[in-house]
Amino acid sequence: MRENLPSTSWLVFSNFRSQEKLRLFCFPYAGGGASIFRNWAAHLPAEVELCAIQLPGRGHRLMEPCFSQLTPLVHTLADILLPHLEQPFAFFGHSMGALISFELTRHLNKQFHICPSQLFVSGHGAPQLPRLSPPIHNLPDEKFCEELRRLNGTPEEILEQPEIVQLLLPCLRADFAMCETYCYLADSPLTCPVTAFGGLQDQEVSREQIEGWNTQTNAPFLLKMLPGNHFFLHTSEPLFLQMLSQELHRLI
């Protein structure tokens, strides 16, 4: 944890580097917490400081109520992050995190005239495209868990333990509700570059849906596809972190 910045329950600074030139804020997928980024810092450029976002309802915030709508979360995050945006920064978000980081970028730009040096979105189709999958957040527990199995994002050993499942379900339902009730509103394109990552075997998000992010910026856009399903950032982690590091090097 970084010592010369005030820590909050929302932010986990995983490394402190005196030569820091860029701060990378990372936003998790549905049900995920700051811990999914714990191994990244060692693989990032020496000039990059990693800051993972810990949302309510998971990790050390397990007992806190979750957000089930995106706009209140974005406004809260803006207030939390503002004191930490005094230097160049970038956003990364996977799946739900991509949606959060995108709307947060738009909000910061419109309300505070602040913009990240780069937006990295991963595992989520462009926000202006219609959602193709039916909503699942209101399904009965058994059906909801079946969908979680199909998505391969929750380990089977966890889904086989009813007590743990009951602890996790409120957070997962709230996260899915936030994504499934999201309503895109057209606005001016972003002024920062956007890099979009996708999985070649992702059955949830196609290459075309990932490529649709190119209309969300007036700055350069880059598409990168990796081997793997929706959670390629884990199954292809070494290759993914190599690609991310290359992009961060260019920024620095």
C-alpha span between 223 and 194 (Å, rounded):
9
Reading the block at residue 243, the tokens are 């690609």
In whole angstroms, give the CA distance from residue 118 to residue 227.
23
Crossing angle (nearest 10°) for helices 162-180 and 70-81: 90
Tell me the CB-side half-sphere exposure of residue 54, using CA atoms within 13 A: 18
**Is 117 a residue of the active site?**
no
Cα–Cα distance measured from residue 146 to residue 158, given in angstroms and rounded to the nearest whole number: 13
> Which entry of 95, 101, 122, 236 is annotated as an active-site residue?
95
DSSP lists the bridge partners of residue 104 as: none
Identify each DSSP E strand in 38-117 by its residue range: 48-53, 89-94
Place of tokens 């009730």: 181
User: What are the start-end ranges of the E strands in 5-62?
Assistant: 11-13, 22-27, 48-53
Q: Which residues carry out catalysis? A: 95
